Amino acid sequence: MNRYFKLAEDGRIEGRAIPVGLSNSLFQLSENGKTEGDSTSLSFPIREQEHVEYVDFLERPLPLVSDKFKQLLEKYMPDMRWNLVILTDVRRVHQEVYWNASPPRTRCLSVRSEYFKDGALKRLVLEGNKTYEPFFQVDGVRETIWIVNLAVAESMLRRDFYGICLEEVERD
């Protein structure tokens, strides 16, 4: 049985870049949505801070990955669609390239998954009898949860990614 891991921000890192004005509504992609080949990109300022860390994965307000992390994910999911997002530090006159992915949404929740009273996911449990894509988004929950399989997780660990935690997900 394959193992799966939830992508999460490394909470120990202080001063991570925080986009201002970015919302989920900008990236509700349809079949006719933007793709990497489009000439348009989106640019957002980041919150002013004393020190800014540009990590390889930003979980909120919308998941974004660095260019380096995107290159790895493309090896496993070459047909996935991407939106270019430029994060701009106006005070330091600096820009960083990030990408928002459109991983396949997968209905994968086990009946053993648990929820808080407000509907947020408390405990994530995947159905154990299925094989999933190497990288996918959990469908049927209100939060954005990205999952990678063991092969992707091992590839990540062999590289020098910064600011990403992998949390193993339970399966039935």
The two three-digit tokens of residue 167, written as one number: 């949390």
Residues for the chain: how many in total? 172
Q: Which residues contact 29 (CB under 8 A, 6 or more apart)?
A: 81, 83, 102
Contacts of 32 (CB under 8 A, 6+ apart): none
Q: What is the pLDDT of residue 80?
A: 94
pLDDT for 31 equals: 35
Residue 51: how many other CB atoms lie within 10 Å = 7
pTM equals 0.87
Q: At 90, which amino acid appears?
A: V
pLDDT at 141: 92
pLDDT band at 40 (very low <50, low <70, confident <90, very high): low
